[in-house]
Amino acid sequence: MNEPKFIPEYNRPDEPGIAMNFDNTVSIYQRVLPEDTFESAVDTAFGLLKEAQGRYPEWPRIYYLEIKGHTGERHGFDDDFFEFQQEFWFSTIAHFVHAFETPLTGGLVNPEPQRNDLPDELVIRVPHSGKENDPD
């Protein structure tokens, strides 16, 4: 595998939000609290990405994720926040950042170029249960 052309400095902001860095990167820091749900964490993550792209178009984005609580048997996380970091993150968020750090993975640099074509909205659908008269 080829090494990335650019490896950003570690610049996690002191507080959650978006910060411009000296190396012309943008740091995004999200803190998930015990009272946050999977859906609210998804909304926050996508909202921060959209805001960063709007304020700093096409700048390399580095996303820092912190999760408080949500402990469980799946590598230390409950089912929702294991899935948030594993399935959701890699299928949705990772494409739109240059690098990221999650509690589950640690720091990783995207081997592909960061995408900047964020969709206007993100729709999360609950999987169909398979029951015949289930409205979902």
Model pLDDT, residue 19: 94
Q: Report the pLDDT value the prediction gives residue 104, as an integer from 0 to 100.
A: 92
Region of 58 please: left (phi>0), alpha (psi -120 to 50) or beta. left
Counting every residue written for the chain, the total comes to: 136
Residues of the chain with pLDDT under 50: 129, 133-134, 136
CATH value of 17-109 in 3.30.70, 3.10.28, 1.10.10, 3.30.499: 3.30.70
Global confidence as pTM: 0.84
pLDDT for res 11 = 74
> Any idea where the domains of the chain sit in the sequence?
17-109
pLDDT number for residue 13: 85
- The per-residue pLDDT for 127 is 60
pLDDT value at position 123? 80
With b for 16 or more beta-carbon neighbours within 10 A and e for fewer, the 97-108 pattern comes to: bbbbbbbbeeee
pLDDT confidence of residue 115: 96
